[in-house]
Amino acid sequence: MLLLHLTNIDEASWAASFRKALAPYPVVLRGDDFDPADVRYIFVWKPKADAFEGLTGLEAILSLGAGVDALMQHPNLPDLPVVRFVDEDLSQRMSDYVVAHVTMHHRQYTRFQRDQKARNWTQVYPPAAGETTVGIMGMGVLGQDAVRRLKPLGFSLRSWSRTPKHVEGVECFAGDEGFEPFLTGTDILVNLLPLTPDTAGILNTETFSKLRRGSLEGGPVIINAARGGHQRESDIVAALKDGTLGAASLDVFEVEPLPKDSPLWEIENCYITPHIAAISNKKSGVRYFSRIIEDHRAGKPLINVVDRARGY
């Protein structure tokens, strides 16, 4: 039996799609008439504190989110495999966001927007893509997809990950010792890291001050599409105001929704989106998790299982 527990999401419509995909396998919601001991899988998004209560026969936890940082902090998370969402559609959406914001900043969107408002005709030529280095933090599923889609546009690419990588056409850095050399050659910093104790607050003044200066007019740029816990917003505000950063694109925030009184709203060179970079699509989500359940029932191992020790 599969139990759905999705907070602030239309559970009933996901349940209907799972019932169709998995029939005759039973799919239930809390409030339905079922014995909790019969539940083998729970599909979660922002599970409440009592989400796992009574699920004595549970075999795996399925996470609608690709990022599992909040789930890892759940006070009653059972010691069972957690399968996270890995999906081509999700990767494509994230890369759409990354490519849009990288190209916008590379082509000096803030400057020309300001000039247009002032009816100011000043010819400043953006560098060619090959003269601009995009540094991707996190070379997992999303980082690798972003690199694949940025490469044909001609950008110079570098990456930073926990363990060393070899990706053609990308200068790869890894570990603590690789962080500073990675930053010092980066003009546009894209964050696609998971939020863990090691990566919390990584987008801070010290990091910004190491980025390459002099290549992009106005200063280096950050793009954060991963988690709000990666950024120190007071540092971003200060860096955007004093020119340490030329611009920032932020899809995620320390507190979501972003509070109405956040100074970020008012900053001209800060581009805010409300955590919409990449939504988990219902059609592909149901297909992916139904396949996981069917394969597991048939004795195959679970895939994309979170490593609890690493936290992602």
Catalytic positions, written as ranges? 227, 275
Residue 272 has phi, psi (to 5 degrees) of -105, 130
Q: Which does 139 bind (CB under 5 to 8 A by kind): ligand NDP, ligand OXD, none?
A: ligand NDP
| Residue 205 token pair | 């003044």
Partner in contact with 60, chosen from ligand OXD, ligand NDP, none, beta carbon below 5 to 8 Å by kind: none
Which CB atom, from 127 or from 140, has the smaller least distance to ligand NDP?
Answer: 140
252 binds ligand NDP (CB under 6 A): yes
Least distance to ligand NDP, CB of residue 176, Å: 8
Nearest to 256 by CA among 239, 220, 231, 236: 231
What's the closest the beta carbon of residue 162 comes to ligand NDP, in angstroms? 3
> Contact between 141 and ligand NDP (CB under 6 A)?
yes
Q: Out of 26, 36, 65, 263, name the contact with ligand OXD by CB under 6 A.
A: 65
User: Is residue 66 within the footprint of ligand OXD (CB under 6 A)?
Assistant: yes
Which is nearer to ligand OXD, 13 or 120 (by Cβ)? Answer: 13
Q: Distance between CA atoms of 231 and 250, rounded to whole angstroms?
A: 9
Q: Secondary structure of 233-285 in the HEC alphabet? A: HHHHHHHHHHCCCCEEEECCCCCCCCCCCCHHHHCCCEEECCCCCCCCCHHHH
Measured CA to CA, the distance from residue 74 to residue 131 in angstroms comes to 45
Instruction: Confirm or reject binding of residue 161 to ligand NDP (CB under 6 A).
Output: yes
Residue nearest ligand OXD, CB atom distance? 67
139 belongs to the binding site for ligand NDP (CB under 6 A): yes
* Residues ≥6 apart with Cβ < 8 Å to 245: 208, 211, 219, 220, 221, 222, 236, 239, 269
Cβ atoms of residues 136 and 142 within 8 Å:
no
Cβ distance 55 to 3 under 8 Å?
yes
Report d(CA 112, CA 232) in Å as an integer: 28
Write the interaction track for ligand OXD spanning residues 264-283; mark x where CB under 6 A is met and - where it is not.
----------------x---
| Burial grade of 101 (CB within 10 A; 0-12, 13-18, 19 or more) | buried
2 vs 192, beta carbon nearer ligand NDP: 192
Q: Is 226 among the residues that bind ligand NDP (CB under 6 A)?
A: yes
Q: Does 67 bind ligand OXD (CB under 6 A)?
A: yes
Residue type, 238: A
Segment near ligand NDP (CB under 6 A), from 29-37, 74-82, 119-127, 193-201? 193-201
Please report, as a single letter, which amino acid is at residue 65: G
Measured distance CA(40)–CA(204) in Å, rounded:
42
Determine, following the binding rule CB under 6 A, whether residue 196 of this chain makes contact with ligand NDP: yes
What mask of x and - would describe binding to ligand NDP in positions 75 to 104, judged by CB under 6 A?
Answer: -------------------x----------
Give the SS3 label for residue 90: helix
Find the helix packing angle between 109-117 and 88-106, rounded to 10°.
50
Residues that bind ligand NDP (CB under 6 A): 66-67, 94, 138-143, 160-163, 192-196, 198-199, 225-227, 251-252, 275, 277-278, 312
Residues that bind ligand OXD (CB under 6 A): 65-67, 85, 280
